[in-house]
Amino acid sequence: MSKPRLVLIGNGMAGVRTVEELLKIKPDHYDITIFGAEPHPNYNRILLSPVLAGEMTIQEIVLNELDWYKENNITLHTGKQIAKIDRVNRKVVADDGTEEHYDRLLIATGSTPFMLPVPGNDLPGVIGYRDIKDTDEMIDAATRHKHAVVIGGGLLGLEAANGLKLRGMDVTVVHLGPWLLERQLDEVAGRMLQKSLEDKGLKFLLETQTEALIQGESGRVAAIRFKGGMQIPADLVVMAAGIRPNYGLAEKSGIYCNRGIVVNDTMQTYDPKIYAVGECVSHRGIAYGLVAPLFEQAKVAANHLAGYGIGRYTGSVTSTKLKVTGIDLFSAGDFMGGKDTEEIVLNDPHGGVYKKLVIKDNKLVGGVMYGDTADGPWYFQLLKDGRDIHDIRDSLIFGQNLVGDVGHAGKSKAAEMADSAEVCGCNGVTKGVIVQAIKAKGLFTLDEVKKHTKAASSCGSCAGLVEQILASTIGGAYTPAALDTKPMCACTDHSHKAVREAIVAQHLTTKEAIFKALEWKTPNGCDKCRPAVNYYLISTFPHEAKDDPQSRFINERAHANIQKDGTYSVVPRMWGGLTTPAELRAIADAAEKYNVPTVKVTGGQRIDLLGVKKEDLPKMWADLNAAGMVSGHAYGKSIRTVKTCVGAEHCRFGTQKSMTMGIKLEKMLFDMYSPHKVKLAVSGCPRNCAEAGIKDVGVIGVDSGYELYIGGNGGIKTEVAQFLCKVRTDEEVMEYSGAFLQLYREEGWYLERTCHYMERVGLDYIKSKILEDEEGRKAYYFRLLDSLKDAKDPWQTSREEQPIKQFIPIKLEA
Amino acid sequence: MSNWKLICKLDDIPQLGSRVVQRATGGDIAIFRNAEDEVFALHDKCPHKAGPLSQGIVHGRRVTCPLHGWNIGLNDGQAVAPDVGSCSTFQVKVENGEVYLAL
Ligand SMILES: Cc1cc2nc3c(=O)[nH]c(=O)nc-3n(C[C@H](O)[C@H](O)[C@H](O)COP(=O)(O)OP(=O)(O)OC[C@H]3O[C@@H](n4cnc5c(N)ncnc54)[C@H](O)[C@@H]3O)c2cc1C
Ligand code: HEM
Ligand code: SF4
Ligand code: FES
């Protein structure tokens, strides 16, 4: 049987992206044909600016080579413009007569530059700035002519002006508005921008209206005249005064248009067989002119073309960045503000830095940054997530570093970093490699960069830096996905949040039920979603859902930590960091009996036996169990250790019995699984020898009781724990810290440490749950104790209850 | 011709799991069973840095190496793009609930 036919009109960024998304989720569904008016394969239009500026070549900005079309069995007609859509017979006709039938049609014809309706606008030398042809013409003009005039002081106009200037022309920008980029910047930032562009040699005529373009003797344009009579020479005029959605073809064929092809939230036009995406579209009355929203549209359209019928496009908030090397500018949302908004402004005209944040109802609704835009993506994320900012408001304007969000210092320097500078320490990836991959492979998202370069794919601490490199390389095309809606992994479109909510709401108790109810795209998930889903199940339904060992990472399956040579490490639990001569003797015996090559004292006050063969694990556990020791869970997304100091039991400074307190906490939390690892510490006085300030829960004894700190982290992101409250008794320490950990267990997303969780929901939220609501706190505490009530030692159970076959190799006789 | 060797019962391998077959020479072989009860055999050595693939998470027709997360195709031993590398495969068959390996 032949496949249904999909025809795409417009071989540009939005259309081809839709096809890519479609191939990803349903590869062989359609016979696909693409018509493109331009004689090129799909290229990255936004990088025409660096091409004009001489920073890149056309070859480098091609997104889909001709081979890509071939490999995916796509018939490509370049240089053929569709002249007619025959909806009755479901076919399209190109200007050269080529015809093609369709079962589904996708229109992605983009837009065209708006040519001011003034006399002379059709003279040779007067062009728009849209495609490779225009760019070539500008590059060519720069070699033969002197005076360029750019009409329009928006993003496109300024990038064109900058490029022409770099190519040696004398450039004047004519702008009708009172300052540059008035749709992206407020007046202060607009003036600062103008000043630095003037320093680069550009000239500006603001609040100036063009009246006519005047022909010279050669027939080419020679001058431009403004209202009021002033006239300046011009051998090249670039119109960058706006774009017009390209919907004439659709309108002619009777598809309903209103300043764009009108589509619903599934990107379908009024003709159900016809979808449209990109700049030619009017969605809820808005036509977008940036790629980030178009890519969101592409994803939705692909889903519906694939026949899955899920996903709606509900509109986008956009942010912009000017791609002029050496100028840093960022704006997003409602940056002008109004009656019911407040503003935080930082203005340092000498340092060339200006930042304005617009706040409404304790939420960030917009912002402008000039000179220092390192925090742009972070602000944009806060804005999209609608995060309540009132707890970080004091230091918000100083950026993410001061709010204490990212540990690696110097990260705000992405643009200034040398290409040879190492960005990802785990995988040894330099900035140059990342930039190269972004440009050469046409990467747009953090995930894509992770996949292709391995940067930020191990510990993730450099993710912020990689995002900045992305933003500075591709400009406004980069939008971080809102955390709430970011899909868990490639197996699903659902976010962690959505999956957790669905598990509770629909009472889903097995992974199969979840995959079915939420329409997973893969039969049994992947190494990312299965462990997450398994954790969500066992934490939501502690005695009901069954743990699935095959969905756990090997460490949690083998109850030991895998090492780089495939051996394992064994860490017996030492409650509160205490041990006994008998235990030490048993550990020493086991180490000798199983030829353990390395014995080490860990940072968490435990003893680590490294280099154990997997088949020896059960035997070694049996010996340790016999001496009264149990698993130390040094391998799990679980409670790891409670460190303690000497405390009032011995120390001359001690105010509280930190060792006793630590042991109580550790016994309470034994075998607790959590979104990520959990570490605690208890110090007997504020000298804090147990380093409680960098723990998920830190307890510090004071004369009148204990101080509790939460959300600290000594790892990748060194994060100081924040003060939660002061309590009087040991019982209260258990109740408050237990309740907090249960809240985190119920709401945290898999692999989110307490510090990340806290950053997402805010300390105030946690206080409202744990401090202000006594009944709620007791309920959390109860649920924690209840879910741990029959905790067993996994070393014991995997020896006795579960099949221990996994530990036994099958030996082949030679 | 291939010399089929009886290895174990199908049920000795957990679904979405694996067993290790130790050879006198030539290194370990990992035998995988997926959710559809298909069985595959690969050299137990990741093309990246020799991680033990048998210890990875099995999904669909892939296994994710436990050391650095490469995905390896179970039927062809090829690393999934963008990673590049390959790992040798062995013929396996299941008859009457018993797993045989061609050596
Ligand atoms: C110089 C420049 C810099 C930019 N910088 C940025 C930036 O920094 N950030 C950002 O987000 N956006 C930027 N943009 C905007 C971005 O490029 C567009 O939003 C995006 O390319 C629109 O995608 P599209 O698929 O809707 O249209 P296009 O990419 O324009 O694709 C439409 C294609 O359809 C073809 N076509 C039209 N009619 C027909 C027909 N009848 N038959 C066949 N083919 C047809 C056209 O020739 C064109 O190739 C920039 C644009 C330009 C020109
Ligand atoms: C005013 C500052 C401090 C004083 C007076 C102080 C004093 C002490 C004392 C008396 C002990 C007990 C020693 C014993 O009898 O075994 C101790 C232990 C210790 N101190 Fe401090 N300390 C201070 C700050 C710190 C800091 C800032 C750290 C680390 C960040 C630290 C780390 C330790 C450690 C690791 C121990 C051993 C605790 C254990 O494992 O039992 N101390 N300190
Ligand atoms: S924290 Fe205080 S009580 Fe504990 S060991 Fe240090 S000085 Fe002593
Ligand atoms: S050894 Fe397998 S991913 Fe590195």
Q: Encoding tokens for residue A84?
A: 């007619």
Q: How far apart are CA A49 and CA B47, in angstroms?
A: 41
Q: Does A551 touch chain B (CB under 8 A)?
A: yes
Residue with tokens 């030692």: A793
Count the residues in chain B.
103
What averages of pLDDT result for each successive group of 10 residues across chain A (814 residues)? 91 96 91 96 91 87 92 95 96 96 97 94 95 96 95 92 94 94 86 90 94 94 94 96 95 94 96 96 91 90 91 83 75 81 84 86 88 78 83 78 43 63 73 83 80 72 76 64 76 92 93 94 93 96 92 92 93 96 96 96 95 93 94 94 95 94 97 96 95 96 94 85 95 97 96 90 90 95 95 86 75 70
Q: How far apart are CA A480 and CA A305, in angstroms?
A: 25
Annotate A232-296 with three-state secondary structure: EECCEEEECCCEEECCHHHHHCCCCECCCEEECCCCECCCCCEEECCCCEEECCECCCCHHHHHH
Q: Does B51 touch chain A (CB under 8 A)?
A: yes
Query: Rounded to the nearest whole angstrom, what is the distance from the C-alpha of residue A628 to the centroid of ligand 2?
Result: 30
Query: Rounded to the nearest whole angstrom, what is the distance from the C-alpha of residue A156 to the centroid of ligand 1?
Result: 12
Which residue, among B51, B43, B24, has the nearest Cα to B90 in the 3D structure?
Answer: B43
Query: Rounded to the nearest whole angstrom, what is the distance from the C-alpha of residue A521 to the centroid of ligand 1?
Result: 31
Q: What is the pLDDT of residue A291?
A: 86
Return the residue in B57, B58, B80 with the most chain A beta carbons within 10 A, the one to mutate for interface testing. B57
Q: What is the pLDDT of residue A408?
A: 34
Interchain proximity B71–A457, CB inside 8 Å: no
Q: How far apart are CA A158 and CA A150, in angstroms?
A: 8
Q: Look at residue B56 and tell me if it is in a domain.
A: yes
How far is B21 from chain A, CA to nearest CA, in Å? Answer: 5
Q: What is the pLDDT of residue A402?
A: 56
Interchain proximity A526–B60, CB inside 8 Å: yes
Q: What is the pLDDT of residue A404?
A: 41
Interchain proximity B51–A812, CB inside 8 Å: no
Chain B residues whose beta carbon lies within 8 Å of the beta carbon of residue A812: 5, 21-24, 103
Q: Indicate the DSSP class of residue A713.
A: B
Interchain proximity A810–B19, CB inside 8 Å: yes
Q: A110, A133 in Cβ contact below 8 A?
A: no
What range does the domain containing B67 cover? 10-89
Q: Look at residue B5 and tell me if it is in a domain.
A: no
Set out the domains of chain A in order of their start, with CATH numbers: 5-110+245-305 (3.50.50.60), 126-241 (3.50.50.60), 328-403 (3.30.390.30), 414-485 (1.10.10.1100), 496-552 (no CATH), 555-626 (3.90.480.10), 639-787 (3.30.413.10)
Q: What is the pLDDT of residue B18?
A: 94
Residue with tokens 């003709």: A271
Which residue, among A114, A462, A467, A178, has the nearest Cα to A321 in the 3D structure?
Answer: A467
Is residue A423 within a helix (H) or strand (E), and if so which, with residue range?
Answer: strand A422-424
Query: Rounded to the nearest whole angstrom, what is the distance from the C-alpha of residue B51 to the centroid of ligand 4?
Result: 5
Q: Look at residue B4 and tell me if it is in a domain.
A: no
Q: Print burial letters for A685-711: b (CB count within 10 Å at least 16), e (below 16).
A: beebbbbbbbbbbbbbbeeebbbbbbb
* Pairing status of strand A82-86 against strand A91-94: antiparallel
Q: How far apart are CA A44 and CA A60, in angstroms?
A: 9
Q: What is the pLDDT of residue A460?
A: 61
Assess whether the C-beta atom of B48 lies below 6 angstroms from ligand 4: yes
Assess whether the C-beta atom of B46 lies below 6 angstroms from ligand 4: yes
Q: A770, A777 in Cβ contact below 8 A?
A: yes
Q: A415, A373 in Cβ contact below 8 A?
A: no
Which residue, among A510, A426, A508, A502, has the nearest Cα to A466 in the 3D structure?
Answer: A426
Number of folded domains in chain B?
A: 1
Q: What is the pLDDT of residue A410?
A: 35
Q: Look at residue B19 and tell me if it is in a domain.
A: yes
* Residue B76 belongs to domain with CATH number: 2.102.10.10
Across B80-103, average pLDDT = 91
Q: Which residue on chain A is closest to B20 by alpha carbon? A: A809
Q: How far apart are CA A178 and CA A151, in angstroms?
A: 14
Q: What is the pLDDT of residue A407?
A: 35
Is residue A775 within a helix (H) or strand (E), and if so which, with residue range?
Answer: helix A774-787
Annotate A108-143 with three-state secondary structure: CCCEEECCCCCCCCCCCCEEECCCHHHHHHHHHHHH
What ipTM did this prediction achieve? 0.86
Q: Which residue on chain A is closest to B25 by alpha carbon? A: A814
Count the residues in chain A.
814
Q: Look at residue B98 and tell me if it is in a domain.
A: no
Q: Look at residue B73 and tell me if it is in a domain.
A: yes
pLDDT (tens digit, 9 = 90+) per residue, B22-71? 998 889 999 999 999 999 999 999 999 999 999 999 999 999 999 989 99
Q: What is the pLDDT of residue A389?
A: 84
Q: Print burial letters for A433-454: b (CB count within 10 Å at least 16), e (below 16).
A: bbbebbbeebbbbbbbbbbbbb
Q: Does B76 touch chain A (CB under 8 A)?
A: no
Q: What is the pTM of this model?
A: 0.61
Which SS3 state, helix, strand or coil, does residue B42 take? strand
Q: Look at residue B40 and tell me if it is in a domain.
A: yes
Q: Look at residue B1 and tell me if it is in a domain.
A: no
Q: What is the pLDDT of residue A467?
A: 79
Q: How far apart are CA A127 and CA A239, in angstroms?
A: 6
Q: Does B61 touch chain A (CB under 8 A)?
A: no
How far is B81 from chain A, CA to nearest CA, in Å? Answer: 9
Interchain proximity A525–B59, CB inside 8 Å: yes
Query: Minimum-distance ligand to the CA of A574?
Result: 2
Burial of A161 (0-12, 13-18, 19+ CB in 10 A): buried
